[in-house]
Structure 1
Amino acid sequence: MENKNHHLSSSLPRSPSPSTSIHTIDLLKTDLTCSICWEWLRDPVSLECGHNFCAQCITCHWDSGVPGSQPPCCPECQRRCDRRQLVPDTRLRSLLETMNLLQQNTNSNQPYNVYNGEAKQLVQTDSTGGFTLFPEVLAQCLNHPQAKDSPVCLISVQGELRTGKSFLLNYLIRGMQGLESKDPQWMRGGRAFSGFQCEPGAEGITKGLWLWSQPFILEKDGMKVAVFLVDTEGALSLEQDKEMNAKLVAFSMLLSSHQILNVSRMVKETDLELLEMFLHIAEEMGEYFKMEPIQHLDFLVRDWFYPATFGKQAGQRYMIDVIQKISDRYPRIQKTLKREQACCYLLPFPGKNVVVNSNGNPEDMDEDFYQYLHDYIIDVCNSATQHVKRHSDGHILTGGELAENTKTLFDLLKKEEFGFSSSFDSVVTQLHDLRMIEAATKELEDFVKEQNSVTKPMFASLKILPGNMQKRLSAKKDKILNHLKETLKSPGKNQIMNRFEEDIQKIVKDFLDSYKKRFCGHTAALGGLAGAGILAVAGGVVATAVVATALTVEAAAAATGATMGVTVVGCGLGAGIGAAVGKAKGRERVPQEGEENPLLKDDE
């Protein structure tokens, strides 16, 4: 088999020097990266087609049921592969060892970012309010081999446009890398890093919602947590279309466990208005997906103008002042800020050089800004393992579970009857109605399951005629519909009610059809017992009641072989019932249609 990496190993210098290290690594990083996990190859294997992967990654890919992976195919070129040909590639292993040597000899003042992550667009929005979810990005990120079955923490940055959100995210990437590598000098020196787009002006604005594709793996008390960073398109901004904002807020709340509200100079009235709306949506999202609305919220105030009052302690004092001023005008904000899960941090002005130089190099920062930014990044990174995504009952979500929830939310937002309109209040109303409809559907389904379970035994089923079961289900259905009509809030709730009634009517009909077949089958079997004389031996009230009630309209229809058991019924039921009726004449009244216990009465 031809190995496509032959030219790579021959191109490496025999004695790597610092002057060639970074250039060489730049040339080789793509070829030595696994396209499944987007990391340096670990235990590299080469497929017949020449593409290379981590041994664990390709094995998991083939075993995961990913479309196109059965029979085994190469994830890159889709060529069919033979598992038996999956063998370790010693040449690649040797090449990676040389790469490590190159990395160790790199100039410490020019650290190379060995992480191959990049900003990936998860949700795309447009000016008409349309939006698209990219499942391949969801799979690459949250279903990453190191995140799919692991606890996850997603840190998102919210705020108005062009207020330095991307700048902050890029330094969070540096901080996460420094925490992973235990490098205390992670912020000093090096090239300007712009993993998230941060150029000024309209062309530099991120569109939609973006994830950093490479999870940062942090460990605490033996638990490994996959940390992701999330960038949003001004989800809390009056400049953006409200419908677009609402959708981005919904996705951001669902994904994030640590949210940073990035504001400029001070918390303004517009910030409070938008945050109150955001928290309202978060409440409904939390109720729907059984999650805490806000697990952790930071107010990060940029360009704070009072000298010598920066950092977390000064921020907490500022928050107390904000709480007192807003009084009861913003109840959700007031409630959130009073919790331990919320805090405030004040950052000074970064310096003229940073404002002029969009790269935001550390050496361009004013010293106090550098120090406070450094301390804030360290605080966020160190606390990430404490802010794993959880359900309200304490269940810790894995990346795979969060990916499924994200798909569910996208499907909900795409429902025609719940097209999000251009107001936050409407979004909240629709989320509330979605939750009410799902609760009503579950109530009926649970009732049907209960009826199905208790009537499975023959004698339990024969106590309830199909007509009586239909009355039970109709009464339950009407009760659910009446309650739902009172709880729905959408202006178009009549249309929603009509669709819902059609859906649950199908549930009722399917169960009744199944129940009638079961009832008739049990009646036919009972006829066989009567014809064989088994019930006659039993005698007494049980035999008399069974046979007498079998003459009612519905039971007689079953006895004539309307469904199953025609032969048995035709031969045995007539003779058995005839004999029993003769014995019972004058002793038992025949139950009428609509009475309970038509075929069997409890022997009291």
Structure 2
Amino acid sequence: MGGTTSSNNNKQPSMPREGAASFHKLEEDITCSVCLSELTDPVSIACGHTFCEKCISSYWDTPQLWGYRCPECRKVCPRDQLIPVHRLKNLISKVQLVVKEELAKKETPAHAIPLVYTDSDGHLQTDEATVESCFLGSDVSDYPVVLICVIGEKRRGKSFLLNYILRALSCQERGQPISLGAEDEPLCGFDWSAGTESITKGIWIWNKPFILERNGEKMAVFVLDTEGSLDIEGSRDTSIKLSALSMILSSYLIFNVNSSLKRTELDYLEMYLYVAELAGKSFDLQYLQHLDLLIRDWHDSLNCRREDGQSYINRETETMRKTSQYPFVLDTLRSPSVSCCLLPHPGKKLLGDSQGRISDMDDDFRNHLRNYITDLVRGIWRHVKTDIHGEKVTCAQLEAKLKEFVGLLQKEQYSFASPLEMFFTFENRKNMASVKREFLNRIDNLAPASSSLFKILGVTPNKMKSKTSEAAAHFLAVYEESIKGDGSQDRQLLMDEMKSILLESEEKFHDEYSKRFKKCAIGIGCAVGGGILSLAGGVAGAAVAGTVLAAEAVALMGSTTAALITGAVGGTVTLGAIGTGVGAGVGAGVGEAIANRKAETEQGTAEDGGDGSGADIQLLVAPEK
């Protein structure tokens, strides 16, 4: 009893409900009204209000007519009287700690969520919200990423294995010695149970990554469970898709095998490796960074060391070399990026209603499992996801690759009956995006943003449409030549989609160009009708300025596009004759230019129909033919 009393006396009382509410109210009071975030380096100004030092300084960088006003009360305050509030800064730190601890208690515990699942029709579906929440969080998006993924036949202990990996990673994240947990602690995490019925469908991901840090560098470690990539009874199309997706995600792949590598597993592994190589090329990712062959229920519990695993691989590769039946598997097993681990049978007690407790494992199994997981977690820094150039891939970059790949999986018209067909689809889609980019560059060069208004008016919208249509036809032919595969139906689907993409891009460009053309036409009309005439002010100056513009416009645009009607005399009277001296000066300054282009000017004036008596200067855009 004494021990219990002492413990209760030393225990910190929990925060009363009123106290928690007050802390939340205080959190509102320590918010900067400029950036709407918690105050950083708080300073007080003359009126008494408090802001982040950077926020108020930046706010006052903009000149204000009536002096520097407070963003809250609008009182004028001296800019150079910023008083640091040190005690408030310390208080904010304490409030942040208490509030964050309180919020952490209310957070939903980490759990497995479906990243890819099979719908009622047997089609693979993905949840974009899940993808974004996992890889685009503000705290992880720029971190390098490690993805531990397990594939293999159903009900062979994949989820069981991953749950112990979760425990070890949790220790690593907290900076504690790696442990598989307490002896009698029930196993939880990815859904698992003894029996023959499958629970996990598709690919599930632990929704919160483990953030590991070493030498000041952080990385995010995700754990994934896959079901159906080697499903003998399931769809071959689904198996290929899941295999490819597992490759896209994983940087540390565990191939979970029961007893030994059997023919069926070798068949699927051969297909998987082929898929991995092709998909890796298409998405510029390393297709196989590390592969663990994990042989479960190994018959010889006394010989489960790493060298025993290597001996097993050597025997298997020698057999395959003689048959020449599995070239991809043979090359892969010879690679230094492949290792083999042998785990003996876990014991009959664990297969019953044990809830996966360590205390129910046979000693041999427990020791080898602990060694395997400890080695995996300690060496995890060597398995950061990289692209084909060896550069580290961040969470955000992986999300973009995954979203692109998922977009293909969700298109029902693509049925991947073989890895090669899948590769052709990837390549055809990638070429489609490339052709679209080249087409957009081509049509953008037809009317660059730097083009003068007269150059724009020199090409009517109808003429521009003819040019863009010609370019679209050219790039459609280019894409047709690039299509891989022999399926005529798929080929037609691709051509129809490419044609639709080019047409949509062409119409968008044409709409924008038409608006730009009209804006330029209106701009010239305003300049000639008002701005130039006001500047000249006098009869001679207005006539000269209007004629010069008319001549240049006709020379560049052609008489069928636009006509400048230059009623200089009437325009001068209407707009005010504001100083004939100025007008005369302008006229004299451009007189020589008129002389040099007299023929063009006369032609332009004649075509424009100007007789010098118009009351205004205006621009008439002729209807297109």
The amino acid across from 1:375 in the alignment is: N
Residue 303 of structure 1 and its aligned partner are, at CA, apart by 2.4
Q: Which residue is 1:37 aligned to? A: none
Change (3 A) 1:572 1:292: farther
CA contact (8 A) 1:523 1:558 kept: no
Q: Which residue is 1:169 aligned to? A: 162
Change (3 A) 1:87 1:125: farther
Residue 137 of structure 1 and its aligned partner are, at CA, apart by 4.1
Alignment match of 1:154 (pick from 121, 125, 147): 147
The amino acid across from 2:145 in the alignment is: V
Q: Which residue is 1:456 aligned to? A: 451
Whether 1:301 aligns to 2:295 is: yes
CA contact (8 A) 2:358 2:366 kept: yes
SS in 2 for 1:179: helix
SS in 1 for 2:228: coil
Change (3 A) 1:516 1:178: closer
SS in 1 for 2:306: helix
Q: Which residue is 2:441 aligned to? A: 446
Q: Which residue is 2:494 aligned to? A: 496
CA contact (8 A) 1:436 1:488 kept: no
The amino acid across from 1:581 in the alignment is: E
CA deviations over 1:359-391 (Å, ceiling 9, x no partner): 443344343333322221112112222222333
Change (3 A) 1:277 1:469: farther
Whether 1:142 aligns to 2:135 is: yes
Whether 1:281 aligns to 2:275 is: yes
> 5 Å matches for 1:420-569?
420=415, 426-453=421-448, 456-457=451-452, 473-486=468-481, 487-489=483-485, 490=487, 491-515=489-513, 518=516, 550-551=557-558, 556-560=559-563, 569=564
Whether 1:351 aligns to 2:347 is: yes
The amino acid across from 1:444 in the alignment is: F
The amino acid across from 2:342 in the alignment is: L
CA contact (8 A) 2:155 2:197 kept: no
Residue 442 of structure 1 and its aligned partner are, at CA, apart by 2.1
RMSD over aligned CA atoms reads 4.8
CA contact (8 A) 1:242 1:424 kept: no
Distance in 1, Cα, partners of 2:198 & 2:23: 39
CA deviations over 1:282-314 (Å, ceiling 9, x no partner): 345434443222232222122233565434333
Alignment match of 1:396 (pick from 392, 405, 423): 392
CA contact (8 A) 1:152 1:388 kept: yes
How many residue pairs get matched? 491
Change (3 A) 1:469 1:405: same
Q: Which residue is 1:581 aligned to? A: 600
Whether 1:377 aligns to 2:380 is: no
SS in 1 for 2:189: coil
> 5 Å matches for 1:44-443?
93=98, 116-126=109-119, 128-138=121-131, 140-143=133-136, 146-181=139-174, 182-183=176-177, 185-186=179-180, 189-203=183-197, 205-305=199-299, 309-327=303-321, 329-356=325-352, 359-415=355-411, 417-418=413-414, 420=415, 426-443=421-438
Change (3 A) 1:469 1:138: closer
Structure 1: gaps of 5 or more residues: 1-12, 22-27, 33-44, 57-61, 64-85, 101-113, 561-568, 586-604
CA contact (8 A) 1:197 1:205 kept: yes
CA deviations over 1:307-363 (Å, ceiling 9, x no partner): 654343333343344445445644444454444433322323333433446544334
Q: Which residue is 1:107 aligned to? A: none
The amino acid across from 2:497 in the alignment is: R
Residue 515 of structure 1 and its aligned partner are, at CA, apart by 3.8
Residue 277 of structure 1 and its aligned partner are, at CA, apart by 2.8
Residue 439 of structure 1 and its aligned partner are, at CA, apart by 2.2
More divergent stretch after superposition (307-316 vs 219-228): 307-316
Distance in 1, Cα, partners of 2:279 & 2:266: 20
Change (3 A) 1:442 1:139: closer
SS in 1 for 2:561: helix
CA contact (8 A) 2:194 2:351 kept: no
Distance in 2, Cα, partners of 1:144 & 1:220: 21
CA contact (8 A) 2:447 2:456 kept: no
Structure 2: gaps of 5 or more residues: 31-35, 38-90, 533-541, 569-593, 605-625
Q: Percent identity?
A: 30
Distance in 2, Cα, partners of 1:142 & 1:134: 13
Distance in 2, Cα, partners of 1:229 & 1:171: 11
Distance in 2, Cα, partners of 1:189 & 1:300: 24
Change (3 A) 1:582 1:240: closer
Distance in 2, Cα, partners of 1:457 & 1:422: 55
Return the index of the structure with the highest Cα Rg.
2
TM-score under structure 1 normalisation?
0.67
Residue 231 of structure 1 and its aligned partner are, at CA, apart by 0.8
SS in 1 for 2:448: helix
CA contact (8 A) 2:443 2:471 kept: no
Change (3 A) 1:524 1:52: closer
TM-score under structure 2 normalisation?
0.65
Q: Which residue is 1:70 aligned to? A: none
Distance in 2, Cα, partners of 1:358 & 1:195: 15
Change (3 A) 1:200 1:185: closer
Residue 458 of structure 1 and its aligned partner are, at CA, apart by 5.2
Residue 185 of structure 1 and its aligned partner are, at CA, apart by 5.0
CA contact (8 A) 1:417 1:496 kept: no
Distance in 1, Cα, partners of 2:473 & 2:313: 50
Change (3 A) 1:294 1:458: farther
Change (3 A) 1:370 1:547: same
CA contact (8 A) 2:296 2:343 kept: yes
Residue 89 of structure 1 and its aligned partner are, at CA, apart by 8.8
Residue 236 of structure 1 and its aligned partner are, at CA, apart by 1.9
SS in 1 for 2:298: coil
Residue 497 of structure 1 and its aligned partner are, at CA, apart by 0.9
The amino acid across from 1:511 in the alignment is: F
The amino acid across from 2:229 in the alignment is: A
Residue 172 of structure 1 and its aligned partner are, at CA, apart by 0.7
Distance in 1, Cα, partners of 2:334 & 2:466: 52
SS in 1 for 2:231: coil
CA deviations over 1:76-128 (Å, ceiling 9, x no partner): xxxxxxxxxx989979949979x99xxxxxxxxxxxxx994222233332452
CA deviations over 1:18-75 (Å, ceiling 9, x no partner): xxx9xxxxxx9xx99xxxxxxxxxxxx956898999x99xxxxx98xxxxxxxxxxxx
Change (3 A) 1:127 1:465: closer
